[in-house]
Chain A
Amino acid sequence: MSDLGLIENGVGLPAAAPALRVEPSPTREFWGRLAARRSAMVGLVIVVALMAMAVFADWIAPYDPIATDWGAIRSAPSLAHPFGTDEVGHDVLSRIVFGARASLGAGLTSVALAVALGLPFGLIAGYAGGFLDLLIMRLTDALLAIPFLILAIALAAFLGPSLTNAMVAIGLSATSTFVRLTRAQVQAVAAEEFIEAARAVGNPPWRIALRHILPNIVPAILVQATLTIAAAIIAEASLSFLGLGQQPPDPSWGSMLNVAKNFLEQAPWMAIWPGASIFLAVLAFNLLGDGLRDALDPRQRT
């Protein structure tokens, strides 16, 4: 706002015309503040790298992740197999690279599902109020009473073991968080004077919800979504570890750990690499989420 003085002087036309340029919108400034935070940027770089790994797995992975090499069973890391091999001769590095698809894919997809369901219900509950609010919130409370991971496991077990079902189970389990957050945010924004100002010019309710409330709650949802992706990655790993997620022989970090637990003494690399991958991915999303939260300052009053 260093050019504020220019606007101020003479209220009307400034003495020197400022060049027409893209004006810093709150969103743009939000990203600017985020970029200034080192830990958030570290998180963002790791997230982007992991996603690139998942997308370009076919080119990055040195071997077919489900091809078995009976000549190299549980072999220690070497030049041929930098991360070693597992008990049926899969290349661990290749499985880590392809496993990123399952882990990140599950994290992103399940959270996308949770937001897609939670946001509209939260908007309705928060803005419409009344009976609908009561109904939605009692259901949400019931779901929130069950711990996230337990609910995900129960739903996955009910739906049957597959990666898709695991994603759905995780997404449904995380939905109530987003309903609750959206509703609270909507209620906070709806109490602002600019909402009354929007009513005063004749905005219909749907337009107030979509045009005036929604843009003001997106940042908070984004923060929560980023942090929830980290939780969803752990949930996917847990489900796969229990055999409820990714099915063999397709790789997933969680199922890799499941197998590795039997060979911890003989072949620790089988556990170390997927464990480290999960740790790194979860850390990266948490760093990014925390950075987003810190950069989030919706009231940029001078």
Chain B
Amino acid sequence: MAEMSGETLLDVRDLGVAFDGEGGAVHAVNGVSYTLREGETLGIVGESGSGKSVHVLAMLGLIPRPPGRITGGRVLFEGRDLLALPERELRKVRGGKIGFVFQDPMSSLNPGMTVAAQIVEPLRIHLGLDGRAARLRARELLDLVRIPDAAARLDQYPHEFSGGQRQRVMIAMGLSCRPKLLIADEATTALDVTVQAEIIALVQELKREIGMAVIWITHDLGVVAGIADTVQVMYAGRILERGPVDSLFSDPRSAYTLGLLRSLPDLSRGRAGRRRLHQIEGAPPDMRDPPPGDPFAARNAYATPRCRREPPPLEQAPGAAPGHLVAAWYDLPALRAAEEAA
């Protein structure tokens, strides 16, 4: 675990995003607030529709508007509000100080351009390098992401790379301008598990070398357990829980986090110790008409009447590690203790 000392790099305050559609507006992100320090790795965990990807795309001006729109909030990156920046300034930040890696490397790379041409592009735009210098840097980047024989592969096209190598190229592009922040949005979801392991190891190494902060967005709690300093669990456009990784996994305070952890079968548990898989009943709410209270209340056996009425604020969980926040009206450890006693 990293020490909690760095300067605040990113400060998201009350961010709201909605999409207008035929059946009414979809409130995809509702009042999301958090901070990220320099050099920190933040794991954001959530299902489809949780707002985990949308809020990041929205803060960088990457959602189509319309139908998307920012309903409120501000996003301070190195002290500047990204939401207030003109598109031209924002473009300098994207791919410059903030690098990206998306889920599908094939559709994010242009199939008709060589890899070199695609890596060189941001280098010329953001760093103003000339052709020769940019190409030299592109080669360094492919070396950096451990693509063997980088010099020869620069002039190949994306289809000549395997899925894992394409994702390495994407990471190289994300890192090309030495970003302060790398955002990986389901970057390993489409990859095989052994390739995923390689990509995770690579990002870990690069983080040590470059010292950037990382936001790792995923649906897989296992992936963030080993690499994140802080984990944030999102559901229905809100943060339900956030805390230092060890505290969050060992002492979950949101019933949703607990449910997710318990629904994962244990790889080391044999058939003798086999119990029925814990399942979270129901499905996420319709974001066109979100419930008035805690969005998880309808699926939560621990929910109180207040949960259904009033959305709980994200606050320090009593008795948990400092910085371990939860949005819940119920006291999960107490309820579980009572359950075990019964």
**A residues with CB within 8 A of B:** 1-2, 4-6, 8-11
Count B-side interface residues using an 8 Å CB cutoff. Answer: 12
- Alpha-carbon separation in the docked complex, A4 to B289 (Å): 10
State whether the Cβ of B298 lies closer than 8 Å to any Cβ in chain A. yes
CB distance B281 to A2 under 8 Å?
A: no
Which residues on the A side are within 8 Å of B285 (C-beta)? 5, 8-9
CB distance B281 to A8 under 8 Å?
A: no
Question: Of all chain B residues, which has the CB nearest A6?
Answer: B286
**B residues with CB within 8 A of A:** 23-24, 281-286, 288-289, 298-299
- Alpha-carbon separation in the docked complex, A1 to B283 (Å): 15
Given known contacts A9-B298, A10-B298, A4 and B286 CB-to-CB distance under 8 angstroms: yes
CB distance B288 to A2 under 8 Å?
A: yes
Question: Of all chain B residues, which has the CB nearest A8?
Answer: B283
Which residues on the B side are within 8 Å of A1 (C-beta)? 23, 286, 288
Question: Of all chain B residues, which has the CB nearest A15?
Answer: B298
What is the minimal beta-carbon distance from A26 to any residue of chain B, in angstroms? Answer: 14
- Alpha-carbon separation in the docked complex, A9 to B295 (Å): 11
CB distance A11 to B282 under 8 Å?
A: yes
- Alpha-carbon separation in the docked complex, A6 to B298 (Å): 11
- Alpha-carbon separation in the docked complex, A10 to B297 (Å): 12
CB distance A11 to B286 under 8 Å?
A: no
Given known contacts A10-B281, A11-B281, A2 and B286 CB-to-CB distance under 8 angstroms: yes
Which residues on the A side are within 8 Å of B282 (C-beta)? 8-11
Question: Of all chain A residues, which has the CB nearest B298?
Answer: A9
Which residues on the A side are within 8 Å of B283 (C-beta)? 8-9, 11
What is the minimal beta-carbon distance from A190 to any residue of chain B, in angstroms? Answer: 24
Query: Which 8 A-B residue pairings sit nearest by Cβ, starting from the closest?
Result: A5-B286, A8-B283, A4-B286, A2-B23, A9-B298, A10-B282, A9-B282, A5-B285
Known: A9-B282, A11-B283. 10 other contacts (CB 8 A): A2-B286, A4-B286, A5-B288, A8-B284, A8-B286, A9-B283, A9-B285, A9-B299, A10-B282, A10-B298
- Alpha-carbon separation in the docked complex, A6 to B283 (Å): 10
